[in-house]
Structure 1
């Protein structure tokens, strides 16, 4: 060996290494699962994307079979599994396709069901499957969300851009600053009252603790009632009497027992309850909401009122009817035509009085967290966007209506926050691009 050259020694080492590697591969191949043993089981998946033949089938991380074949049948992926003959599957077993890591290989996972369920016969079928969301579907959903946010941002930038938009934003900030200063001043002026309220709460808590202590010591009417032994004995006697009555009813004794144990009576009651349940489900599906909202306009020192009726046949769709009491109102114009001695005269009259009552009739559709509305807004055509946040407790809305060629459109931005079930707070900026001086910050509730 020492007489061999370096090249010969390297060649011998490579040959020996290849022999060892081939031997180990053969050994490992013998240890792996053999496709010619076991029995076949069918399972249908909506998608078998990324799954290949001869990948492992596992239960609790242990390989129990292999994927023998993947076919397309009636628009679904038919996956045939070869299961080890020593492994018995129940009919309520669940199958799912999983991946090892984010970009790892796909494999099939089986989740065993109840031990009392019957076994699946060879060439049987696994009924229950668990669909796993793949990376491509997740990216598509994220792409749609990003596109919606981009469109909303672009629309907001178009509305708020330019000198008028900058002035409107500055006015919003100034109004919010004024509200914050008002709240701060109110708290400072009523500091003594707040201290009294906190002191009263502290006294109330101390009184509750004192009452609880007396009850635990057996003092007072409630304490004596709880601490007396005869009270417990009487309670036990009452429970024993109730148990005897229940046993008689179960045996069918007495009027109530005969009524409950009569099969015809039970069937009639079940039929009545079923009809009542169907009626209640229909009523619950078709919901109606009545709402009043008042908005205090800082610019005109007046209140704008909304009386709304929302009819909601589905969770993602509703109809909105409103009566609006607008202190600004709408100007009234009238043409009067008169005929005298064959001469026709038309007189155009513009009244300064304004009709304060307006009407709205809208239809709304919701897509995930984004809602779209269209129809009549305060007696004019328009549309709106609603964006829902924090499980619908916060709603951001942008409304556009009254597209008059002689003046700017009426744009309104508002935010509704619902701290309680039947109460919400609203705030925003109304008609913020008005060229007639009608823009105003508002705050209200409903």
Structure 2
């Protein structure tokens, strides 16, 4: 769930300016020259992503004679507050960025509108079905998928592997091997492995591992029954407990989960992070690239076809109260379902650390010589993305309940009791929010 990374960036950016104007959204008619005005709110991402959006908006506006698009970049730390205020005032933006896990919920509450009637059927061809499923609610599509990025990839330092007597070309394949490797790699100056270490980061970064350990998430598919006490989850919490209690993980986190710097700085030999870490490593540690390997996170039983990550990402939606819904959807279609070259530039700008769910774009990327600059892209695509599950769309409190259980395991508390507490908390969330039957 790369929202955590965005929040990290926002914290550094502080009160970053709202780019390209800072007015409210959905203004309907009245733009200069008699053009209809639509507004795009984009959550602030990296500078490279923000620059791409600005360039794309300028190109769209140049191509239009009846519509003008106003582009607003909003820092992540004020996004919710600003959006709620705009909605309350009846001035929500026409189009805005949303991460996949929120789309079904927004659709259920009537915050966004279905795009099927607004975007021609042929524009939906060539999209990965599993990703399309992330933007669907009751058979209708409420967002157009832009990208996916797996939540968990194992990056490791080949030079430190060799120094510890480990084969640099054979990363750990099972969790027991991860523990064994971690012991050999841990020194007084270098951690054996760095991964999520607090309940919030563990709540979402472990989604893929929850699937890997038990074959399901800690709530039934229809969201009616908690499943956190499945005995198979004990092995997951035991791994975290062992890594932490035996000092393989640092006692004090070196950085938030989304931060790739500990590996580049030589503070850890192995690091679990999302695919976006590749762009940081390529940008900030170019001399180390040859000494860094990437692989799928180990599976509990060594089966490489089981998921170890979930696919998060971003989509564009049209507000339910937009006064120019068709023009807004036309922009979404132009940006994400139009010329593949436009999107290839986005992936190039982000060092090919994200992946396109649209076949035409994915094919164009493979034919772009610059794609070879990311030496881990193909491995991540074939070993991680291929088997990853969509990130869950249920209430965040459910994920947090499981994150709390993992945190208790880190602290050395009884694993059975930690899972029982999570199960009870999930049961309470289901009841208080009337979730039963609302899942897929």
- TM-score higher than 0.5 here? no
Higher RCO structure, 1 or 2 (CA under 8 Å, sep 6+): 2
Which structure shows the higher strand fraction? 1
| TM-score of the aligned structures, taking structure 1 as reference length | 0.17
